[in-house]
Amino acid sequence: MLITSGLGNIIEQELPWCAVYTRHQHEKTVEEVLLAKGLDVFFPAYEVTRKWKDRSKILLVPLFPCYVFVRGGATRRLQILTTPGVHMILSHGERVAAIPEEEILAIRRTVEGPFRVEPHPFLRCGERVRVIRGSLEGLEGVLIRKKSSYRLILSIEMLAQSVAVEIDAADVVPAEERSDRKAERVGDNYAALSYGS
């Protein structure tokens, strides 16, 4: 996010993401108003097909119902809270609760890619895997099997919510291999960071 100081200097700051809790079915409206206010907003959504007796329609629905994500919410709290449809910013006491950048990036890469994404019950346990090739390379999540396909489960810990994205099981390895490979490459002096998050 770029912030202009009073002297006209542009200072680039990496501000943390936060979760904004909205009224039911107001996520898209809140996103549009916050964008108009100049905030960096992420509203993950996915497509579903709804069928009626006479027709069917593809709808874009929130991946995390009643939530949008905003970068730098602690610095622009008033602008966010005065937005119609916003209930609150998730906080720990008086401090805005920060969401790790890697969790937002993981969700963003899946919804912006050519993947089938859907909500999934929040998981803490299960085998953690790391994607080793393709556009999701480097992401870590929990691998599950659903009928004949595999899904990678990605989570936003603070919300205790997860999403599932279809993946080829051949494209993942156990996440524990990551630390082994890191240790092997430290002696090579070049890329202990290449497997970093």
The pTM for the full model equals 0.71
Please tell me whether residues 61 and 105 are part of one structural domain. no
Tell me whether residue 63 is in a domain.
yes
> C-alpha angle 56/111/179, rounded to 5°?
145
Please tell me whether residues 120 and 49 are part of one structural domain. no
> CATH code at 81?
3.30.70.940
Please tell me whether residues 150 and 104 are part of one structural domain. yes
The lowest-confidence range among 76-85, 108-117, 187-196 is 187-196
Over residues 107-149, the pLDDT tens digits come to 999 999 888 898 987 766 567 899 999 889 999 999 888 888 8
Give the domain extent around 107: 100-189
Q: How many domains does the chain have?
A: 2
Please tell me whether residues 107 and 85 are part of one structural domain. no
Backbone phi and psi for residue 79, each to the nearest 5 degrees, phi listed first: -60, -35
